[in-house]
Structure 1
């Protein structure tokens, strides 16, 4: 009988390549995944350093640069986190929005197919017009903004050309920036409330709100199960305006809610939009498909904020990166 114990080979860490690691989404996903995956990230004009992660320059609009990165690292999964996510900014710079949100993605998708990497793309509820209804994955996108139009084009291209993809159509994501010089809207709300400043917030656009780490956890489940060629909608189970979201935030984070007032922010609708010309907009994503497929329960906005409070609570007010908080703390 051979009693010799055979050496067990350690399980190979999968490689995740994140295009746009300097972005809010890219940097937070990198922080979340870096312990269990080998993470590599690219940036263009905003160099970023994340401990334990290799970051390199790459312009997604240059095909040769995209090809070189994918050839060099041969990632198992490629996440596209480049782009413009502001409805207003996209309306002001439509050509730049189209280049970053669609053209750059097309380059990445093409070379992902060549080097057998799964493409993961985070789309938006803005592919819809914001009518007062419950939107399903099977509903045909009918965007009424430049931003929504670019996201719908990206979804369509991936589904028609890629043989290995996973798409997540998401409600509004919130969290902290990993770059102390570039604040997210969530950072700015925290800052203003902590400094006792009056803040006027939109009360006309209703959407779901989800901590970015919830999205990261869902991505991890799908990556671990090797789910492919699926489109899932990800959102809190309820919707609020930014005004009501911030009021709920103030309640949970013990901030002064009287500083928060109602306002109406610009929502630049395309002149060619065929539907919905009302003043108020509703982005209610049905999430039953994702919940049933993964056997999970997505949180309400209040539950998401309670999770955020626990994730961030007790950290000093320092402009330092931290793997648990992902950025500047104003608590």
Structure 2
């Protein structure tokens, strides 16, 4: 049995990792996040309120739990918020990772760290793991800085870069582009959607499974994990419209320069997934399959809330 500790367990990916870990009898699971546990299942694992920017607290928890693996999903991931407050981004996205590195080195822990396609500038996508990063915003720069700290460390490490994660949690407390566009259009709200950026959206269940596979296989190095379909953001929202038979007239399609966001975004990212296919037996859902899964999960949540 492998003892796995996750940070950021209240997030979308964190809750999906919890689901997958609870279904695996070979994993002893410790979930950590800030505040109360948001996952609907409270039994079968340990939950700890943890702020990984606090080194002493993190050290005490790691000593107490003695994990074999730490999966770090905690991050300040709002790209515009990072641009507005780079000090806060540095603290969460770089300094907290340094805390985990130091403890992983000391206690011989396999550190699996979640990173992003935003370490790339978007000029040459889709990207392979050994392509040269060149971030164009604070978030990407800080995630790359954390990657460099990890690669320069002496711990057992893995870096998982991913793209535009989507999915549903039971209390609907976490949003993403699929739920945002669906909910807004269902309520007759006009939304602005960028028409000159391309991504490969990632189903949270696929990413969670890949992270745990890496933990169990002790797969080291950098891995690109995403969906297999490359869409413009407009095409992605169009697929949401088509799936749920929504009204498309509320969509205002604009160029990146017209949105006036705080942070620049890469134009075209996307990943070449051959390494994940070969080393992890990674089989991602298509975007259409992911939307069907979300529809089923939303129906189940609706039934539960009506009881």
TM value normalised by structure 1: 0.81
1:280 is displaced (CA, Å) by 7.2
Match of 1:190 among 161, 182, 187: 182
Deviations 1:50-77 (A, max 9, x none): 3224322222122111110111111121
Match of 1:292 among 271, 278, 281: 278
Match of 2:140 among 125, 148, 151: 148
1:55 partner SS: strand
How many positions carry a matched residue from both structures? 297
Distance 1:303 1:181, change over 3 A: closer
1:268 is displaced (CA, Å) by 4.1
Q: Within the alignment, does 1:47 sit opposite 2:39 as a pair?
A: no
Match of 1:22 among 10, 13, 20: 10
1:283 partner SS: coil
Please report the RMSD computed on the Cα atoms of aligned residues, expressed in angstroms. Answer: 2.5
Match of 1:31 among 6, 9, 19: 19
Match of 1:312 among 288, 294, 297: 297
List runs of 5+ in structure 2 lacking aligned partners: none
Distance 1:306 1:319, change over 3 A: closer
List runs of 5+ in structure 1 lacking aligned partners: 1-11, 271-278, 321-331
1:155 is displaced (CA, Å) by 1.1
Q: Which stretch of the first structure deviates more once superposed, 294-303 or 33-42?
A: 294-303
Match of 1:117 among 80, 87, 109: 109
1:182 is displaced (CA, Å) by 5.0
Deviations 1:158-194 (A, max 9, x none): 1110431121111111112455455444433232233
TM value normalised by structure 2: 0.86
Native 8 Å contact 1:24 1:184 kept in 2: no
**Computing the radius of gyration over CA atoms, which structure comes out larger, 1 or 2?**
1
Native 8 Å contact 1:41 1:56 kept in 2: yes
**Runs of 4 or more off by more than 6 Å in structure 1?**
none
